[in-house]
Structure 1
Amino acid sequence: MKVSRNKIGKRRKPMKSSANTSEIARGDTVASNMDANNGFTFTEVNSVEASSMKVISCHFSADGKWLATAGHDKKAVLWYADGLKPKSTFEGHTSLITDVCFSPSMPYLATSSFDKTIRVWDAGNPRDSLHIFRGHSTCALSVDFHPNRNELICSCDGNGEIRYWSITDSNCAGVFKGGTSHIKFQPRLGRYLAAAEDNAVSILDVETQARQDLLQGHVKPIQFLCWDPSGEYIASVSEDAIRLWKLGSGGEGECIQELISNGCKFHSCVFHPANSSLLIIGCDQSLELWNTTENKSMTVPAHEGLIASLAVSTVTRLVASASHDKFVKLWI
C-alpha cells in the first residue's frame, strides 16, 4: 500500500500507535493487533452468513442494539447486534436493495432499491412498509435520514437526481441534480448534504438546495462517503484512492490527506467509533486501517469477497462489515 505524504496538520489527537505493527493473527475471533506496544487492537468478535446472496449495505440503530443489513436478495434483515441473531425481515422490494439506514431518532428504517423506490419501515413491525416513495426514473442507489428533522429523508439515483421526501405527508419535498452513487447528511446539524457525483463530491445546502462546493481530485468514480461524528471532516472513496476533506463554515472543502492504492480496490469506509484519526476502509476481501495522523496504514484480512459497506456504533463501539461473500462481521 502506498501512502501519500500530504500534511495533516493539527487536526485531531493522534491515535496511540507506533511505526512497528505486529503480524496479523488469524483465528476464530482475533483479526489483528495494530500496535502491540500501545495495546491498540482491532478484533473480529462475531460473524454470520446473513443472506444466500450478496450483502451490500449495513447500518446500526442509534442506540447500537440493532444492525440492519440488505442486498441482492431484496430483503432487509434486522439483527440483534449482541450475538448477531435475526430479529425480523422486511420484504416488499421487487429488486435488489442498494442501501439501508436507521432514523437517528425514530424507530424507522429506510431502504433504496433497483426497483426505483424508497421504502420506510417501522423497525418494530416488519409486516408492511409505512411509506413507498416513487419518482426516481432509474435505480435508487442511496438513502439517508436527516439527523434532526424526523420527517425528512433523501435519496439519489443513477441519473444524478436527488430527491427529498417528507415522511409526514408522503410527498416529494424537492428534486435537484448532484448525486449519483452515495449521499450522506452532515451529522448533528444536518446543514449540508454530501453527494457523490461521478468522480467529485457535491456539498449541498439542505435548506436552499444550492451547491456550496464541488470537491474534485478523484480520478475514478466515487463509490462511498462518510462523515466524522463532528461533521467537520468527510472521506470519499474511489476504487484507487481515498481522500479526506476538511469542511469550512461556508461549506467549502479542502483535501488534507489522500491514500493511494497500489492495486487493492477500495470501496467503503468509516471513521473508527473511538478514534476519529483512524479510518477503516473496506476493500476486496480485506480492511485497510489508515492512521491519518501518522499517515500509516495496515491491511487486515476480513472477508472472501468485496466489503461493500461499513457501519459503526458510537454507543457500543462496534464496527460492522458487509460483504459480497454473503457474510456480515462485527469488529471491536
Structure 2
Amino acid sequence: MASEDGQDNDEILLHLYMHDYFIKNNMHETAASLRREASVPDNSVQIDHPQGILKEWWSTCSDIVLKEYSEGETYAQMSDHMMQTEENQNTDDMLQQHQVICDQSLGFFTKDSKFHVSGKCHTDLHHKFLCCDFSSDGKLLAIAGREEKVLFWNTEDHNKFVTGESHSLPISDVRFKPNSTMVATSSYDKTVQIWDSAEAGKSPLKLQGHGDHVLSLDFHPRRMNLLCSSDRNNEIRFWDINQGSWTHIFKGATKQVRFEPRNGKLLATSSGNVVNVFDVQTYKLYAVFKEHDKEVQSICWDPDGKHIISISEDSARLWSVSERKSLHELSSTGNIFQCCTFHPWNWKFWIIGGYRSFELWNPFESNKTLTIDAHKELVSSLATSIEPEMVASTSYDKSVKLWASP
C-alpha cells in the first residue's frame, strides 16, 4: 500500500531505519541529507538496538546487496562507517561473536519454569546462522546461513564437521530428508542443493530452474523423491530428486514452505501476510488464512498435522486447518517475532523466537507466556527433535544452542 505522497510503506520504513542508524552513530550530516532527499517523517523508530536496527540488517544482507546493487554516495558512506565500527569492537566482543556456542540445557520447560544449564562446546566457524534442522533420529543438527556451507553437529558425541562451499550466496533454508543423512539447502544464488552428511567431501546435487532467490524448501514426509522449494517471485516448484528435475510449478509461496508432517497431503506456505494451504495432489488451495497485518516470517505444523502456527513480526496465530479458521492470537507486545516451533514433549506449547528471547505459549489455556533469555541478538530459527526431546536455536549473534528437556 502506498502513502499519500506515493511512497511505499516499506520504502518509508527503510528510510526511517536508515535515519535511525545515522543518528545513533553520530552521522548527523548524512541523516539530515537523507531526511531532505527522501522526505523522512519526523517520527522516530523505537528499536532496542544501540546502533540501530539497520546495523543488524546490513550485517546479515550485505553480501547480497553488494553483489546485486550499485549504491550511491550515501550508501557507500554508510557501508564504510559500518565496517569501521565493526573493526573498532574490542577483542573480547569479537572473540565471543566469532564462536558457535552449543548449550545443552536441562529442564527446557519444567513445572517450576526453571533452566538448568550444563555443558558447552565451541568451534571456530564464525558467521550468522539463519536456519537449522534435526535429522529424524535427532543425532545430527544441520546449521547454515550467511556462509555458503553447511555445519553438521553430532548431538551425541559433540563432533562437528563442515561441507565445502558450493553455493555462491547465503543459504536461506536447510531441511533433512526424512530418515536419512541427506539435507537440502536453498540459497539466494537461485539454486537448491542436496548434500549427504555421511559424505561431507562429496559435491552436492544442484537443482536449477528458479529465476530468483530461493527462500525455502521442504522434503515430503513419505514420498522420498519429492522436494518442494519456493522463491521470491512467489513460485513453488516440486522436484523429483531422483531425476534431478522439476515436475510441477505453481504460485503461492515466498517466505516458507512446509509439508504436513504425518502424510504430506497438504502443503502450508507463506506469501506476504497470507498463509496458504495447498492440496499436494491437485495443487489447488485447500485453505487461505489472511488475518496477519504484517509479513509472515515463519510457519510450523504441529506433529498431528491439525494445526499451523504462523509468525509475523508483531503477532503469532494458531490456525485450525480442518475448520479453516484462526483459533488464537498472541501479540508480540514490543518484541520482534521471527520463528516458531512446537515443544518437543507437549505440542500444545509453542516456542516463538524473537529478539534475544523465547516466548513459550500455550494458546489453549491463555495468552500468557513465559519469556526466556536465549541469545544476544534476534533468534533466527528454531528446530525440534521429538526423540530425543530437544530444541535447537540459531541467532544473529553467531551462536547455535541446543536445549534438552528433562
Q: Which residue of 2 aligns with 1:17?
A: none
Query: 1:1-332 alignment to 2 at 5 Å?
Result: 38-39=111-112, 41-45=114-118, 46=120, 48=122, 51-82=125-156, 84-248=158-322, 253-295=324-366, 296-332=368-404
Superimposed CA distance per residue, residues 185-229 of structure 1 (whole angstroms, 9 cap, x where no aligned partner): 000110010000100101011111111121110000001111111
Q: Which amino acid aligns with 1:329?
A: K
Q: Which residue of 1 aligns with 2:11?
A: none
In 1, Cα distance between equivalents of 2:403 and 2:247: 38
The Cα shift of 1:83 comes to 5.1
SS of the aligned residue for 1:309 comes to: strand
Contact 1:32 1:300 in 2 (8 A): no
The Cα shift of 1:167 comes to 0.8
In 2, Cα distance between equivalents of 1:107 and 1:94: 23
SS of the aligned residue for 2:268 comes to: strand
Q: Which amino acid aligns with 1:311?
A: A
The Cα shift of 1:273 comes to 0.9
Superimposed CA distance per residue, residues 152-184 of structure 1 (whole angstroms, 9 cap, x where no aligned partner): 000001110011111111111111100010110
User: Gapped runs of 5+ residues in structure 1?
Assistant: 1-27
The Cα shift of 1:33 comes to 7.6
Contact 1:200 1:222 in 2 (8 A): yes
In 1, Cα distance between equivalents of 2:379 and 2:122: 14
Structure with more helix by fraction: 2
Superimposed CA distance per residue, residues 97-147 of structure 1 (whole angstroms, 9 cap, x where no aligned partner): 000110113321100000000001122112234421111111000010000
Structure with more strand by fraction: 1
In 2, Cα distance between equivalents of 1:139 and 1:103: 22
Deviates more, 1:204-213 or 1:127-136: 127-136
Contact 1:92 1:128 in 2 (8 A): no
Q: Which residue of 2 aligns with 1:3?
A: none
The Cα shift of 1:293 comes to 2.5
In 2, Cα distance between equivalents of 1:30 and 1:69: 19
Contact 1:59 1:311 in 2 (8 A): yes
The Cα shift of 1:73 comes to 1.1
For the pair shown, the structure with the greater C-alpha radius of gyration is: 2
Contact 2:307 2:319 in 1 (8 A): yes
The Cα shift of 1:43 comes to 4.8
User: Gapped runs of 5+ residues in structure 2?
Assistant: 1-102
In 2, Cα distance between equivalents of 1:286 and 1:300: 5
Superimposed CA distance per residue, residues 37-72 of structure 1 (whole angstroms, 9 cap, x where no aligned partner): x44555555565674121000000000000000000
Deviates more, 1:90-99 or 1:46-55: 46-55
Superimposed CA distance per residue, residues 247-299 of structure 1 (whole angstroms, 9 cap, x where no aligned partner): 11xxx621101111111000000000100111001101111111223212021
In 1, Cα distance between equivalents of 2:285 and 2:315: 24
In 1, Cα distance between equivalents of 2:124 and 2:309: 27
In 2, Cα distance between equivalents of 1:244 and 1:51: 36
Q: Which residue of 1 aligns with 2:60?
A: none
SS of the aligned residue for 1:266 comes to: coil
TM-score by length of structure 1 reads 0.86
Contact 2:297 2:339 in 1 (8 A): yes
In 1, Cα distance between equivalents of 2:224 and 2:108: 40
In 2, Cα distance between equivalents of 1:330 and 1:166: 33
In 2, Cα distance between equivalents of 1:134 and 1:331: 36
Deviates more, 1:80-89 or 1:237-246: 80-89
TM-score by length of structure 2 reads 0.70
SS of the aligned residue for 2:199 comes to: coil
Q: Which amino acid aligns with 2:328?
A: Q
In the superposition, relative to structure 1, how do residues 300 and 269 fare at CA in structure 2: closer, same or farther (>3 Å)? same
Contact 2:105 2:402 in 1 (8 A): no
The Cα shift of 1:87 comes to 3.1
Contact 1:289 1:297 in 2 (8 A): yes
SS of the aligned residue for 1:91 comes to: coil
CA RMSD of aligned residues (A): 1.9
Return the structure number with greater relative CO, CA threshold 8 A, min gap 6: 1
In the superposition, relative to structure 1, how do residues 107 and 199 fare at CA in structure 2: closer, same or farther (>3 Å)? same
